Amino acid sequence: MATNRTFTMIKPDAVANGSIGGILKMINEAGFRIVAMKYTKLSKEAAGSFYEVHKERPFYGELVEYMSSGPIVAAILEKENAVVDFRTLIGATDPTKAAEGTIRKIYAKSIAANAVHGSDSDENADIEGNFYFSKLERF
């Protein structure tokens, strides 16, 4: 059953270059409500565990290094059809292939440093939100 919630991170490159405000503005203007939010930094171990599903992929080591390289903003977002609509808002993984007007098209530097994460299913949105937030941190 659809939960109408998704999970996002503003990744280290976007935080470092001052894009938190711009990205949150796009998220709000697209109709997402913030349920939970945290400014934090992943240890290598935590990044490795968050991206465990990708551990056989050739870029796993690079991804773990990058995601633990600086602070991030993690958030749970709510909207009807949240998972699918948020993937549309962020655009393709590779910013050179992302549609005009998407967050990655505007803010991402490369396929690795691609500004934002967005859950790919309701099930993963739930798992990823639980990775960062307790029930008491959701409003």
Active site residues: 117
- Residue 37's identity, in one-letter code, is M
Task: List the single partner that 62 binds among ligand IDP, Mg ion, none, CB under 5 to 8 Å by kind.
Answer: ligand IDP
DSSP state of 59: T
Q: Is 114 in the site for ligand IDP (CB under 6 A)?
A: yes
* Strands across the sheet containing 5-10: 33-40, 72-78, 5-10, 116-118
Q: Work out which of 111, 122, 126, 127 binds ligand IDP, going by CB under 6 A.
A: 111
Q: Does 93 bind ligand IDP (CB under 6 A)?
A: yes
- Return d(Cα 76, Cα 5) in angstroms, integer: 7
Going by C-alpha positions, the residue among 103, 39, 114, 96 that lies closest to residue 71 is: 39
Task: Rule CB under 6 A: say whether 131 interacts with ligand IDP.
Answer: no
Q: Which is nearer to Mg ion, 53 or 99 (CB)?
A: 53
Q: Please list, in sequence order, all residues whose beta carbon lies within 8 angstroms of the beta carbon of residue 63, skipping any fewer than 6 positions away.
A: 47, 51, 54, 57, 112
Smaller CB distance to Mg ion: residue 120 or 126? 120
Judged by CB under 6 A, does residue 117 bind ligand IDP?
yes
Residue 131 binding target from Mg ion, ligand IDP, none, CB below 5 to 8 Å by type: none
Q: Tokens for 12?
A: 């280290």
What residues line the site for ligand IDP (CB under 6 A)?
54, 59, 62-63, 93, 111-112, 114, 117, 120
What residues line the site for Mg ion (CB under 5 A)?
120
